[in-house]
Structure 1
């Protein structure tokens, strides 16, 4: 029997579209959690700075990605001083870059 390889662990149990979104949310949650850790903030401090409840920070740190929309995660990145930009060189190709803003 040949081994089957998957793009992400999510692709094992979900369709490709759902799995790709889940993988993106996991990557965003890791980035946000690491930024909070880098700043040395408690969950309460992070929640205050991001304008959300402490329980949402707990959900984020515990990888409960199903509780978040990608839009909400981009809002958190905005509050942390990052900006997401999408480029679309063709109708069939696009990429998203997340970088620290000048003001941060």
Structure 2
């Protein structure tokens, strides 16, 4: 019996379209929670900086990604000083780069 490899754990239990979105949301949630940890913020402080409730920060920290939209996660990255930029070198290929904005001063 041959081994079958998947793009992500979500691809085992979901169709490709849903699995890809879930994998992206998981990656975004990991990035956001790692940035919060790096800054040494409490959940309350993170909530204030991100413009969300403390309970939403807790949900994010506990990987409850189904409760978040990709848009909401990009808003959180914006609040953390990051911007997403999509590039499309061809009609059949695109990528998203998320980079920290250099602070003025």
Q: TM-score, normalised by structure 2?
A: 0.97
Give per-residue Cα distances to partners, 1:60-81, cap 9 Å, x unaligned: 0000000000000000000000
Offset at residue 33 of structure 1 (A)? 0.1
Stretches of 4+ moved more than 6 A in 1? Answer: none
2:90 is equivalent to residue 93 of structure 1 = no
C-alpha distance in 2 between matches for 1:14 and 1:44: 34
Structure 1, unaligned runs of 5 or more: none
| Mapping 1:7-22, distance limit 5 Å | 7-22=7-22
Q: Secondary structure at the match of 1:95?
A: strand
Alpha-carbon RMSD across the aligned residues, in angstroms, is 0.8
Partner of 1:60: 60
Offset at residue 103 of structure 1 (A)? 2.4
Give per-residue Cα distances to partners, 1:1-59, cap 9 Å, x unaligned: 11111110000000001000000000000000000000000000000000000000000
